[in-house]
Structure 1
Amino acid sequence: MMKVHRNSKGFTLIELLIVIAIIGVLAAIAIPAYTGYTKKAKVGEIIHALGAIKSAVSVYYSEAGATTDATTADLIRTTYGVDVPTGRASFQYTATSREIQATSKITGVTGTMTLTGSTDFKTWTWDGTMDKAYIPKN
């Protein structure tokens, strides 16, 4: 038969405090890292949309020989045939400077991201006022 220990009363207060302290330290490390990853994922959606607009503008230029301004997502859709999501950023294309610009609507990520095409739209460069950690390398 099993012996029952009557003096066993569970965890001591110090053991519980140590566990709470460990959980607090882990949370202090994990929460900022998690928010950074979620911001990068949201910025990734903007980069993806800029890439779609870039492809559409390049095709339009190769077929028409010129491009036209599109200052809103609706104009980008009707002119270039690309449906861009507007939840994370507002988009516009300026034909004279060959710039596709996205202005962030993400909380904690401010500024713009710009994708500029060469005169023949074969090469593109990234720039902008957004934190450089979010802007792709050229």
Structure 2
Amino acid sequence: MKRPNQYGFSLIEMMIVVAIIGLLASIAVPGYQDYVKSGNAAEAPANLANCRVQAEQFFQDNFTYVGFVCVPSDAKSFDYSIDNQSATTYTLRATGRASNNMGAFEFTVNQDNAKTSKFDGTVGSSCWLTSSSGSC
């Protein structure tokens, strides 16, 4: 008795395909997550720069920084606060939200435009980092 020709994939062939897809996913997913973090991190420097301009305008009008508040309307991945606020000083701070996987990010700027940042654990002491490689 002769068997008819069988068509399709064997179990071994299917296992090889699953292994290749798993390998590609293990490389692509972390790269994509880093890309998303970098995109979300761009929010903080943009909003801090805008808040700094608003703080200087407030100072020009009132001759003090006391009473200035900064609440960006498009804040999605960061919480914003003002530290060391006095008549002549302030520090604007953007702290990443852990719920958005941005907990390792923090950016600051003060009245003298001195900037610091923590970009996914990498610390920048004189600028706002734009990548985890430490470049400004």
Q: TM-score range by the shorter chain?
A: 0.5 to 0.7
Match of 1:80 in 2: none
Deviation at 1:19, TM superposition (A): 1.2
Q: RMSD between aligned alpha carbons? A: 2.8
CA contact 2:109–2:115 (8 Å) conserved in 1: yes
* Structure 2 residue matching 1:103: 3-state secondary structure: strand
Find the aligned partners of 1:103 and 1:15 in 2 and give their Cα distance.
49
Match of 2:132 in 1: none
CA contact 1:88–1:105 (8 Å) conserved in 2: yes
Letter in 2 for 1:12: S
Structure 1 runs (4+) greater than 6 angstroms displaced:
none
Aligned length, in residue pairs: 119
Match of 2:50 in 1: 52
Letter in 2 for 1:115: V
1:76 aligns with 2:70: yes
1:116 aligns with 2:110: yes
Of the three residues 24, 27, 35, the one matched with 1:26 is 24
* Structure 1 residue matching 2:65: 3-state secondary structure: coil
Match of 1:3 in 2: none
Match of 2:78 in 1: 89
Percent pairwise identity: 21
Find the aligned partners of 2:19 and 2:123 in 1 and give their Cα distance.
32
Letter in 1 for 2:103: T
TM-score (norm 1): 0.66
Find the aligned partners of 1:133 and 1:40 in 2 and give their Cα distance.
15
Deviating more after overlay: 55-64 vs 9-18:
55-64
CA contact 1:113–1:127 (8 Å) conserved in 2: yes
Structure 2 gaps, min length 5:
130-134
TM-score (norm 2): 0.67
